[in-house]
Amino acid sequence: MFPPTLLVLMAGAVAASFFGLLDERVGSRSKEVFSSIILAVALYTLYNLYTTVDGGVVLFTVGVGPPLAACFEVDALSVFIAVCTVFLALLCTVYSARYMEHDTRLGEYYSLLLFMTAGMVGVAFAGDLFTLFVFWELMCISSYVLVAFRKERWAPVEAGFKYLIMSAIGATMILFGMAFLYGMTGTLNFARMSEVLSTVEPGIWGLMAFAALFVGFGIKAAVVPMHTWLPDAHPEAPSPISAMLSGMVIETGLYGFTRLLYVVFIPNSALMDGGLATFKVTVGFFAAITMTVANIMALLQKDIKRLLAYSSIAQMGYMLIGVAAATELGLRGCFLHVLNHSLMKGLAFLAAGAIIHQLGTRNLDEMKGVGRRMPVTMIVLTISVLGLGGVPGTAGFVSKFILFASAVGAGMPILTVLGVLNSAFSMAYYLPMLRTLATTPTGELKVREAPASMLVPMCVMAALIIFIGVYPAPAVRFAHMASQALTTNLSTYVEAIVKAMFG
């Protein structure tokens, strides 16, 4: 059977569209309430899964027996990614209730939001590439429609089309990588592939599969030469969707790549020329150019959401440092940064969305002094931006510290230097943004504070950012469990699956 979280989310997504129809007839607001309840229930089922997993693996199979069945393998890392996703989706849904009030077709909106969440959770839970691909496309297709949701304006349609073309090419590249791995091993199950590959003769196919998968997941994760869809798609989407896209969707790409790299490629790195060093140098190189290019581009932006979109790409570069380090510490920093980034960037987009909602423009120059009229939004935006810059006392500092420390331990000090420099450099666009918002308004400025249902999710996130920054132990322990699933517990993972499924 399906994992309970996925069942709840998918059933909820189908039902949400009916609630949308009901709301159109009666004029009630049942779909918002219903979606929030569904996500809260999903969070509760995840808590149950978390207690059952406890460092091991829980196996769900759908259909006839293995190897044909779709299978879900839930370990600590899957639960970690799913918790980040569902929590962010819950906050974004609560926020959407007021933000989207003037739009039509809201039944579809909440339905698609739930389907996108289900897709991300499915990718996190997938135990074989086939299941991963199906849920990957569920996530992708819902996000195309959500980016172009306000189709009555030209910009979202244009951004959506660009996103669709690039992301669809990425999906075909993933399919190619899958085909090569399937040709080498005769299976698509992660654990089984990892086992069979150790008996395969070295050749060019492994490297080709790696390259195809890196491009495929890299397009979604916006690694720099493949990032061009992101600065268009993220600003044009409705703000809660921008928060979801920046907060978790691009990290799902990173997750897929990391899972494959650590389960399939790194244990069998003897297959490739240069072994482990090939992976480390490749990923490290892309980490370096991703953060540098994105930070420079962010400096040139006048549009507040576009600036934040470029900053997302830069944060992706920091996360790749942890993947490149190929140590337990690096992965711990990477996953902790995924959690922190989902809170910080989610909050930044929601706060920017609140300002845009009240003011009606996205141009930073026209936002002079808005912070004086919207004090709560201004304070939470400041917290999130300081977190993104890595100021001590916020969540961003903890994860960046672990990431940069791990690069030294892995013998790549150049990445640490570049990371610290970039992190400092990024303040060059965060601080002017804050100053613009906080200066004395030039003329008469008629803005009021955002409504309470938008402020509550933002305040929750801001409180969590401060909490993780001041008392990081629980979050670090959670990330530690997730990273152990890919490093020290990997052999138990592989053995457990192979024994359970293939006898």
Partner 1 sequence: MLPTYVYLMSAFTLVFIGLYCVSAKRNMIRMLFGVEILLNAANLCFIAFSSRWLPYVDALGHAVVIMSIIIGGCVIAVGLTMVLNAYRHYKTLDVRELRRLRW
Residue ranges binding partner 1 (CB under 8 A): 67-68, 130, 133-134, 137, 140-141, 144-145, 148, 151, 154-155, 157-162, 164-165, 168-169, 171-172, 175-176, 178-180, 182-183, 186-188, 228, 231-232, 236
CB of 272 to partner 1, least distance (A): 20
- CA distance linking residue 237 with residue 240, whole number of Å: 8
Cβ closest to partner 1, residue 168 vs residue 438: 168
* Neighbour tally for 440: CB within 10 Å: 8
Cβ closest to partner 1, residue 219 vs residue 450: 219
CB of 205 to partner 1, least distance (A): 10
User: Taking a C-beta distance cutoff of 8 angstroms, is the pair 257, 214 a contact?
Assistant: yes
**Comparing C-alpha atoms, which of 350, 101, 359 is closest to residue 240?**
350
Which residues, 6+ apart, have CB-to-CB distance to 204 below 8 Å?
none
- CA distance linking residue 250 with residue 257, whole number of Å: 11
DSSP string, 198-213: TTSPP-HHHHHHHHHH
Cβ closest to partner 1, residue 26 vs residue 64: 64
CB of 120 to partner 1, least distance (A): 16
CB of 13 to partner 1, least distance (A): 15
CB of 190 to partner 1, least distance (A): 14
Cβ closest to partner 1, residue 196 vs residue 402: 196
Could you tell me where the beta strands, DSSP code E, fall in 231-366? none
Residue identified by tokens 């002094």 is 369
Cβ closest to partner 1, residue 85 vs residue 131: 131
Residue identified by tokens 């040139």 is 300
CB of 375 to partner 1, least distance (A): 32
Cβ closest to partner 1, residue 147 vs residue 380: 147
CB of 151 to partner 1, least distance (A): 5
Residue 256's alpha-carbon distances to 129, 293, 342, 379, in angstroms, are: 10, 23, 17, 35
**Comparing C-alpha atoms, which of 29, 4, 258, 243 is closest to residue 116?**
243
Cβ closest to partner 1, residue 105 vs residue 162: 162
Q: Which residues pair with 126 in a beta bridge?
A: 72
